[in-house]
Amino acid sequence: MPDRVAIARKLITDSLYLSLGTADAAGTPWVTPVFFTPDGYTDFYWVSSPETQHSRNLGERAEAAIAIFDTHAVIGAAEAVYLKATAGQVSDADLEPALAIFNGKLPESKHFELAELVAPAAFRLYRATAVEQSVLIRGGDPEYGKGADSRLVVTL
């Protein structure tokens, strides 16, 4: 049996982008890829404009869904991590330590400065905190397979 927790942790550590699912106040969904930096396996940071659809959605409702997966996996060999999360803009009080975490994955030449992430600047730092983590179970999995792909809740 594959070590699903180890696979999920590696996906989080090695991936550059996550797919962020949000919804507006009426429930209209929106999904977008964002470059991210993880803090462990429960907190995920990205920089975005507060004017983007996903940022506006998070301003209306904090619930989010996240998928992290290897886009280069061959058909039938995919691995994925799914997260239910709460997300939103990082507060000014938490900005400096959160920015240090976010910048940790970037080359130094691409680091953001605090002044680039507070008004009147165009961007802000956002954080999602996982409230549930699960992994992809392929339909043919010898232990958990159900004939169709499913997911298994895990603790990372």
Q: What is the pLDDT of residues 72-94, one digit of tens each?
A: 889 888 899 999 999 999 999 99
**Domain count of the fold of the chain:** 1
Q: What is the pTM of this model?
A: 0.94
Phi (first) and psi of residue 4, to 5 degrees = -60, -35
154 and 3 Cβ atoms separated by less than 8 Å: no
Q: What is the pLDDT of residues 9-50, one digit of tens each?
A: 999 999 999 999 999 999 999 999 999 999 999 999 999 999
Q: How far apart are the first and last CA of the chain?
A: 17
CATH number at residue 25: 2.30.110.10
Neighbours of 8 (CB within 10 A): 23
- The residue segments making up the domain with residue 96 are 4-154
